[in-house]
Chain A
């Protein structure tokens, strides 16, 4: 798919998001969350390119969300909080990445899981600071100094989410085309050759890991500032699993995959939850099974295959 076609699709998607948010006001919040998760899943996609699956990236999402919750009283502007909390998540990603980038496969996945569960229990146990399982309320934030009404705030968060999605999507696309991004698939299959080109495979993975932590952090801040409430559940392993689920559902073949997956996931969740209450996880499970068995490229891969069939070469 050409760069231009992808951009046109992204713009169409953005237009659809805005239109839906206007026509069905309660979807505005759902779509903001979907975009936030899409940003976080972009990071999961980078790791998938290297053949690594993290079952612990909720750690970075939750870390940035709590940073936003604590920081909002002192730095009450969204446009400052967002990059700051992202950088905190990236710094944590660097510290942890130095350690986990030595590992591959199941060990990599489980180490991430273990660390995120440690963070989860810290959030639960230190009640004096974090209010335990009750979580923290997030004060309202301004946007470039402007305080907005509740309605205005929800539109502004949607805009922030859209801008973050475009910015991070574009950056990840550029990153994947660079030597550093191209080498990710080499980490998956041919570390020896990479080393014998003079490139430390570990650093290739570490760079992607730090970026993925930053993206998870950005997603986390948007979630915190939109829901206005953070709880330890953000760091629970099911949140990490959700990110991986969305990555597989959307497909790792292109930067639109995560957003397609996140939108499909969130919309299915709200509609299925309304229709069949307890059975929505089952519906999602069945969808995931079908994707893995019949469309390993995910929704994005399916779309590409359909487009290719319609326009024979």
Chain B
């Protein structure tokens, strides 16, 4: 299996708007595949269809050779599809450790148990500690998520996705709103995960994209206008016109 993800002719309409217009795309096993495109191009809409939060109107999604087009979101997670949210979406009343712990527990199972003690699940908390000690949130374990900075929340998004042990990680703008140093740290973290899992990376930060991506696909008005290496994308006139020309890259 060389493709962890294969998307065929995916379509999604919102009323008259075609948000996903006949998208075909694949992510090779082990690769970091970036998806770029202007605001409103339909990147998040695509991610949401891949993870099962939105249902496509037409088209097929294969994860590791399996048709997951009509599978509910939680089952896709079990098959190894992890995601982060563009607008952070966390358990705000819980601490950092409780957030990660619940993500580990969710994967580990026993979620219907009513006679155990959640604090007594040593393997869950050991793994939580392990995940956190390898992250920038190590000193923030007991902080309530509502009290975290934006950058810390973005970090937590990633750690929680990793806790589900994904084979394919869908990252929706992990650097959005981060300062330069924080972005660099995020790039390093993602680079460190290279090879452990495949990634589909949606990102506006071109520095990050060029630093990380093995291949890049460009989405404009719901259509993939090209897929190629960083150099190919940089030098493509259509991309310059549609995307790079309109923004400072």
A and B held together in a complex: no
Residues of A bordering B, CB below 8 Å? none
